[in-house]
Amino acid sequence: MNSPYPQNRLSRSAEDYLEAIGTLCKIHGQALVSDVAQMLNVKKPSVTAAVHQLAEAGYVDYKPYAPIILTEKGKLHAESVIRAHQTLMRFLREKAGLSPERADEVACLMEHHLTDAEIDTIAKTLS
């Protein structure tokens, strides 16, 4: 069975967690389970379970009750998802005329299915 995700991509859920962790690290310098839970509107045990899976895959370092630390692999992947989201939001607002709220919602769906090359192509239309 073919995966709906490009090769070497995480699931949509895992990418959402990485995106949230990466965003929180950029804003606050760290990401806590409680902050990720609030950002994604999920329960803390869900975040803990996801973070453990991300840690097993080498994307984060995590110890209970401590900030979540992105590994180099995690930073690169989080930055890629954040960039895709921002590019798609801008495209959907500027070229498709969507409201900021709708652009954010649609970008979140699309970012998981497009390759980096496809995002680059979209970004070029915004230059």
Write down the mean pLDDT value for the chain: 92
Task: State the pTM of this model.
Answer: 0.87
The pLDDT score that the predictor gives to residue 8 is: 56
Summarize the confidence of residues 34-51 as an average pLDDT: 97
- Residue 114 predicted with pLDDT over 60: yes
Query: Which domains, from first to last, does the chain contain?
Result: 12-124 (1.10.10.10)
**Is 126 buried (19+), middle (13-18) or exposed (0-12) by CB count in 10 A?**
exposed
CA distance 7 to 120: 17
